[in-house]
Each structure stands twice: as structure tokens, then as C-alpha cells.
Structure 1
Amino acid sequence: MSLIETTVHGNIHELRLARPPVNALNPELCEALTRALADALANGAQGIVLAGGPKVFSAGLDVPYLLSLGDDRAALLQAWEAFFAAARALLASPVPVVAAMAGHAPAGGCVLALCCDYRIMARSDDDARPFRIGLNETQVGLVAPEGIQALLARAVGPHRAERLLVAGAMPDAAEALRIGLVDELTGIDDVATRARAWLAELLRLPHKPMLETRRIARAAAIDCLREERIDLPRFVAAWMEPDTQAGLRAMLARIGK
């Protein structure tokens, strides 16, 4: 079964993460996403919907897999490089991309969403258990790279980004909308439909001026993920620190992995 399910709606291609139960981002899924984006563009896509869920858009990097690599630094670097290749492919897409989040989007799931032009998130059917999105790295002993922090600040502003990042906060969907982390809320069954509708409206604009304006406006976002602003060797070294490993294993114990 394909890790990315592609559905074509005219000139809009929907790419759905399909690695149950929570679309954990292992190298195979990240590489499949990078290929699917390239294929969509080669096949004439003028807009792309990145979907996941239900209930979880993506739970972020596959932590059990990463922990299984132990102290294999080369394998860890390869896994993280696959993730950032997918994130950069989203950012560098020459056509608009909408994140259609029918559920939670922590950590790497949030990063993928931040790489999209527009973010639509579902309202939970249970008010006591809202869907959440954010960069919760400090909660498990990690430091989000400077470029990722800048990407968040671009969405919510530097002061609010600082507060969210330092606390490792995961705002619920309503709060995420209020602060600009997401752009729209809708029912869980309507997320992908609303994403296509937003793209269709954008694509009715004069095409070349819209795309050129978008290219200029997104240059700063693309700059956030330059290799120097991520510094993967340093990040992987920090990942291997005993305190970080203990924090990650404690997190997995809490969620029953």
C-alpha cells in the first residue's frame, strides 16, 4: 500500500499521508512525500492539498524508529535529512500548498503545516478533547533548530513564538486560529473540501502575477530551512544526549508506546 494516497481534482492534487495509525514520519514516508510532490507538479498540479488524519494529521517524527537507531549517527542524520527534504519540497513548491489537518499536528507535523501556504484545522467533535498543534520539543528535552523557530515566528510573530517554543506549548485549534498558527477551522469531514475551495479561489486570480507575488513573499520562509539554520549535525548530537534520550523514552512510556 502506498504511503501517500494521491487524488486528482482537476488541477488540484490531494496528497494524503497514509501511514497509520498516526502518520509517524519515518524516512520512507518522508521520501514518499517528496516524490509525490514532484510527481504532482510533473503531472500539471496548479495547487496541492496535504492531508492526513483522521484525528491525527501527523504525530511528527517516528520517535520509536529513531530511538531504535541507537548511537548510529549516520542513520540518524539520514532520517532527519529525509524529513527536512520533504519540508523543503513543500516550502519550495512553485504552486500553492494547503495543509488540511483533520486532527493533531505536534512537532514534525506542525513543521510540515508551517511549510504550507495556508493551514486549515478541524474542530474536534469533543469540546473536552480539542485538536492541538505546536512545537513541543522542550517537553521532551529537544531544542528546535533556529530555522524552525524562525518559521514559527513568521506565522505568529516573534514574541508569541518565543512563548510557545520555550514552553513547548500545544495550543488547541481555537487558540491556534486566534494567534495565526492556523488560518481556518472547519468540521472534521470538511477539511480537505475547504482546502480545495481555498485553492480554487486563489487559482481564479491572474495566474502569473499571483505566482510571482507568492514567490517573492515566500522567499523568507524558504530561507528558514537553509542548512546553516538547521545545523543537523549539532541537532543530532543533542538528540543523542542522555537527558534527551531519557525525556523521549519517558514520553513514549506516557503514551503507551
Structure 2
Amino acid sequence: MLNLVTHDAITEINLARPPVNALNLELLQALRQVIDEAVRSGTRGIVLSGAPGMFSAGVDVPALLGRDRAGVHQYWHEFFTTCAVLARSPVPVVAAITGHSPAGGAVLALFCDYRVMAQGTFRIGLNEVQVGLVVPECIQFAMRRVVGAYRAERLLVAGAMVESEQALSYGLVDELAAAEQVVPRAIQWLNQLLALPPRAMLATRALARADLADAYADVDALPLDDFLDGFFHEETQSVLQQLVARLKKKG
């Protein structure tokens, strides 16, 4: 589910769960474990990449709909824990957005330090509203940090998916590159950061990201039960079931 590539002092964690890198429980657990292990092993930076044309399609909705409340709670707790690991990472993380990045894929990218996206017709955004899900405050907060309060409101309420050029203009991603250059450019940016005096850079980074780290200091304190109530709401379940039915037809 994950491929690890070492680039000198940088660890690339490549999402490898075909066909669309859907985030199931096992992938999230593996991702969190690999990030922790990379940090313990002394990596100085992490690049999180996906497959050509698809960074991650987000939450594995078909798998999630088959779970009871306890199972859904376990999944979302793991999802927010993964967000916390990225938010509180002691080393910088770059999202190499190699293609489409809806919903959960976009969320993971928001918690990284920097975002390089493939140019072209690829889309990114938090489209949860379109599938009947409420975007919780802890995710809205991460979006506001990146694009500002008003732009976050407009994108979140509409559940908007925007193409790469528009994402760049909104600040949702930091730069664009040709698809085959997304990972090399992410590594290049990270190497430039790592060339700075490390103590000063890392201490300044920690101060700059303290609000995000503090927001995810205790995942158990997040209003997960409220989020689950929304997930099991009749409207949400109906929309998600329709989504799964469409996906099965495409398959």
C-alpha cells in the first residue's frame, strides 16, 4: 500500500493502493506508522506522493458504509490521528500532488508544509458537502490557514473542486509542475529548506505551525461523536449510498 523511496536525507512515501489510492483504515494505519518510523530513523524531510493522475481519491466510502458505528468511529479516529501526525511532524512534509485530490486527499495535503500539484485539468478540493458530509471545524481550520477565511468559506460551503491553475491562484497549492516533475520539484523545494541553518529553521517552523499543532494535540478531544452523528444522518447515508452505486456502475 506504500512505497518508500530514499532521496538522501529525504523520505518519499508513495501512496500505492490501486486504482485510486482510496484511504481505507489499513492504509491510514500504515501511513501513520511509516511517518513515525521515518522520523525516528532520522529523516530530515518527507515527501508524500501518489500515483500518476491520482494523488488520492480520499475516503474509501464503500468500505466505510459497511461498518457499524464502532467501526466508523475507529476509522475516523484513525483519519484524524493521521492528520495530527502530519500537523505535528517535527520535520517538514511536502505534498507531491500527482493528480486529482478530492476530499480526504486534499485534507492530507492541507496538513503538509508545502504543496506541489500537477498542472493541467486535475482537480483538488474538499467536496464533502456534495456527498452529504459536514466539514468539521478542525478541518475547516486547516483550510483557513492555507487560503484565508473568506476563500475557505466559499470553497467549503460549495464543496468546490477546482482545477490546478485555480487552486494555485487561491493559494490552495503553492506551485504547479509538469506531472512527471511534481515529485522532483517537491524534493528540490525540500532540499532548499533543509540547506538553511537547521536549528533556526526548525524552531521558526515550529512557532509558525504551533496553532495547527495545538489544534491536534489531543485527537480524543475532537468532537468525533458529533461528526459521527452527521455521518449516520439519513440524508448523508442516502447521498453516500447513491455515490457508491454510481461507482459500482463505473467499475
Verify same fold: TM over 0.5.
yes
The residue number in structure 2 matching 1:133 is 124
Which amino acid in the other structure matches residue 91 of structure 1? Answer: A
Distance in 2 between residues matched to 1:25 and 1:96, nearest whole Å:
22
Contact (CA 8 Å) 2:87, 2:111: kept in 1 or not?
yes
Shift of 1:59: 0.6
User: Runs (4+) of structure 1 moved beyond 3 Å?
Assistant: 223-230
Indicate the residue corresponding to 1:4 in structure 2.
2
Match of 1:127 in 2: none
1:230: how far off?
4.0
Change (3 A) 1:144 1:17: same
1:190 lines up with 2:186 in the alignment:
no
Partner of 2:232: 240
Q: Counterpart of 1:252? A: 244
Structure-2 separation of matches of 1:19 and 1:84: 20
Structure 1 CA distance for aligned equivalents of residues 133 and 9 of structure 2: 40
Contact 1:151–1:224 (CA<8 Å) still a contact in 2?
no
Tell me how large the CA RMSD over aligned residues is. 1.3
Identity %: 52
Instruction: State how far apart, in whole Å, the 2-side matches of 1:60 and 1:91 are.
Output: 18
AA matched with 1:51: S
Paired residue secondary structure (2:22): coil
2:53: which partner in 1?
Answer: 55
Match for residue 166 of structure 1 among 138, 157, 160:
157
CA drift of 1:189 comes to: 0.6
Please list, as runs of the form range in 1=range in 2, the aligned pairs for 1:33-112 lying within 5 A after superposition.
33-69=31-67, 72-112=68-108
Quote the offset at 1:147 in angstroms. Answer: 1.0
**Where does structure 1 lack aligned partners over 5 or more consecutive residues?**
125-129
For structure 2, the residue ranges without an aligned partner over 5 or more in a row are none
Q: How many residue pairs get matched?
A: 248
Decide whether the 8 Å contact of 2:81 with 2:219 is kept in 1.
no
Residue 234 of structure 1: SS of its match in structure 2? helix
Deviation for aligned residue 1:253 = 3.0
The answer on whether the counterparts of 1:23 and 1:57 sit within 8 Å (CA) in structure 2 is yes
